[in-house]
Chains A and B, each alone.
Chain A
Amino acid sequence: MRRSMKIATATVALVGLIALGGCTTDPEVTPPAETEEPAPPTTENEWFDQALFDKQDAERDVVPEGPADQPWLQHINAEMVDTSEYASAGPKKACFANASISNPWRQTGWITMNQQLLALQEAGAISEMETRDAQDTDDTQIADIDYFISEGNCDVFIISPNSTAAMTPAVERACDTGKPVIVFDRGVNTDCPVTFIHPIGGFAWGIDTAEFLIDRLEPGDKVVALRILPGVDVLEHRWAAAEKLFAEAGIEAVFHFTGADPAEIKNIINDELARGDVHGIWMDAGDGAVAAIEAFEDAGLDYPVITGEDEMSFLRKWDATGLDGLGPVYSNFQWRTPLLAIQKIFAGEEVPKEWVLPQVPIEAGELGAYLEANDGMPDGHYAKFGGEDLPGYPEVWQQRQIP
């Protein structure tokens, strides 16, 4: 009996750890994040990179080149590369190593990508796309890429890396096959891919949102930052930029990790409201913004100034309440671009080496138009998904048929 007691104790300890660890840990969490201290305003966030900050800050103001009505084909400050060596006729087989479809943003993009695939199959550019989903695990994705290299019979590789450093050697192996490699969303530490497609980036998001809040708040006002999880570069960059600007403007900013769980978000806001006034809410993703806004309603307080995302639930709540908000965008339409790049590469057309897509926040004046354009879409849909001209629009996105 005494022994079973010990076993029970150990089990509980483990279960407790799993439960509590499970709330926020994620395979994407990279070692640096574990040691990250929430920086007091004066110290530097280790994710902060002044050069990248300046680059993205400048890119926000550049007028992108390319067709104005097709932002997924636009590019900013591009250095074009010649792809004539890959020029070849006939439909090609694409192999896609996807990091995951574990959040609404990736799911929306994945749906759009598949509809783009249908269009390109019809156009005869792509024969088929074989996809492997790494489910947020580096090891799985490395195995996926190696499988594609050895047995996939691929004409072209598309890789959406799970994490930057871990995926670099596998991407290099894919490049060594001599076939074109296209990387999008998160990056890798090698320039061997033909093109690396991504929106401007996290620092631009942080600058857009922080400037919006600073503009509307006084020094000394308090902003609560709701972050999903630590350690993912695109999310860390958003906060690193915003944190720096808040500190410079004398705004008191505290952050919490929420796991995008609305119950957790509501608890956090309730606690902050119990401690004192909250003037602004900053979110590193719009998922869960509604719960944050409702916490103010339940407490009988005025709405704070808030930055969310172009996610429909936030846009709808923003519209219904008339609060002062901004919908920053991490351009979801980038999921179309890799397939269109395949078409260009095999046609021998030049493509940008680093394909920086535009990333423009939704402001109050445009809100109505985006709501109208996305009428009937589910809450987890992203307004700037960019699939309006694809087959299956709008039913596929409305039904959210994930392939």
Chain B
Amino acid sequence: MADPMRIRAQVAGDKATVRVLMSHEMETGQRKDSSGKAIPAWFIQEVTVAHNGAPVMTAQWGPSVSKNPFMQCAIKGAKAGDKVTVSWTDNKGDKRTDEATVS
């Protein structure tokens, strides 16, 4: 499994702000290595955020997202103690899921 994500979720009023930092090379497929060969594309294609098990956000990413992507979203109705799960799948089929508790 890939390197862990850093997830922070904080309540502010009636919603929780979730901030995620993902560890991923996000190769576009356009970069060339020192021998002139293109470095194969390798990037996160789908991101899902779930709140207490129910999916609340799905994102479809492409090669334009930068290395080590940072994402922020707000979940309405989230309370302190709720579980927030973030999962991603990349174009090589590699996956990663991490969990955090809303504070």
Query: A and B from one assembly?
Result: no
Binding site for B on A (CB under 8 A): none
Binding site for A on B (CB under 8 A): none
